[in-house]
């Protein structure tokens, strides 16, 4: 009887270990391993549209305003924003008539899918995505999957080291989101990071 109990305890310990080791490695990756910094490529052409992803902060406003001033003919599409980005963007010398609003997106996936009618109406062939550094790989991967024929480049302010607490938390959240989008939508942010 004792030998059976011992074998059962060993089997339970092994099952726990098989679960806990991968979980601990995943948690360590999320918490402490760095998220490779994406390369901020200059826009090599005049974009047909500047797409500003909502849910961001004033960093996205600064990047969008610089692009808007550099490409004064390009319309600006703000997607998934409750007015915060628009209000702050209008503090720059940008004509309101250039700005198109897509208010309903609640995720990066919806940013891409709900922006499609705007890009089609504009006949866009080249776009610049405006987001944060930690979000750029996933955003670019989603837009590339949604619009395989569009030329695009993501533009963002690079990370400042040491990272601010908000950026550290956002980087951790982004790692989990990248795994989720890979499983849910088949969008591989890690390929964008390596290219």
Output the pLDDT for position 5: 62
Output the pLDDT for position 143: 97
Distance CA 81, CA 54 (A): 5
Distance CA 151, CA 102 (A): 21
Cβ atoms within 10 A of the Cβ of 91, count?
Answer: 9
- DSSP-assigned letter for residue 97: G
CA dihedral over 194, 42, 160, 63, signed as positive or negative: negative
pTM of the predicted model, to two decimals? 0.85
Output the pLDDT for position 193: 55
CA-CA-CA-CA torsion for 129, 130, 132, 134, nearest 10 degrees?
10
- DSSP-assigned letter for residue 53: E
Domains and CATH numbers, the chain: 49-194 (3.40.50.620)
Which residues fall within 8 angstroms of residue 195, CB to CB, at 6 or more apart?
none
Where are the alpha helices (H) located in the chain, listed in sequence order? 2-31, 58-70, 84-89, 108-122, 136-146, 165-185, 189-194
Output the pLDDT for position 44: 92
Contact 53, 130 (CB under 8 A): yes
Output the pLDDT for position 49: 98
What is the chain's pLDDT, residue by residue, as a tens digit (195 residues)? 555 566 668 888 888 878 888 777 777 777 777 777 788 888 999 999 999 999 878 999 999 999 999 999 999 999 998 889 999 999 999 999 999 999 999 999 999 999 999 999 999 999 999 999 999 999 999 999 999 999 999 999 988 888 888 888 888 889 889 989 999 999 988 876 544
Both tokens of residue 18?
């098989």
Output the pLDDT for position 4: 58
DSSP-based three-state secondary structure for 88: helix
Output the pLDDT for position 192: 65
């Amino acid at each position: 009887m004792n030998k059976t109990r011992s074998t059962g305890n060993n089997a339970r310990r092994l099952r726990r270990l098989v679960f806990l080791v991968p979980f601990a490695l995943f948690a360590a990756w999320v918490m402490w391993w760095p998220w490779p910094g994406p390369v901020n490529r200059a826009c090599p052409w005049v974009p047909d549209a500047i797409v500003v992803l909502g849910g961001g902060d004033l960093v996205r406003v600064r990047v969008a305003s610089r692009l808007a001033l550099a490409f004064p003919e390009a319309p600006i599409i703000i997607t998934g924003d409750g007015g915060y980005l628009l209000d702050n963007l209008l503090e720059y010398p940008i004509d309101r008539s250039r700005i198109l609003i897509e208010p309903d997106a609640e995720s990066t996936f919806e940013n891409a899918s709900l922006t499609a009618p705007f890009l089609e109406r504009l006949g866009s062939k080249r776009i610049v995505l405006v987001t944060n550094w930690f979000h750029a790989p996933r955003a670019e991967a989603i837009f590339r999957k949604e619009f395989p024929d569009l030329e695009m480049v993501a533009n963002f302010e690079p990370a400042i080291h040491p990272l601010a607490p908000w950026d550290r938390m956002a980087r951790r959240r982004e790692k989990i989101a990248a795994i989720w989008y890979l499983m849910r939508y088949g969008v591989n942010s890690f390929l964008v990071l390596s290219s």
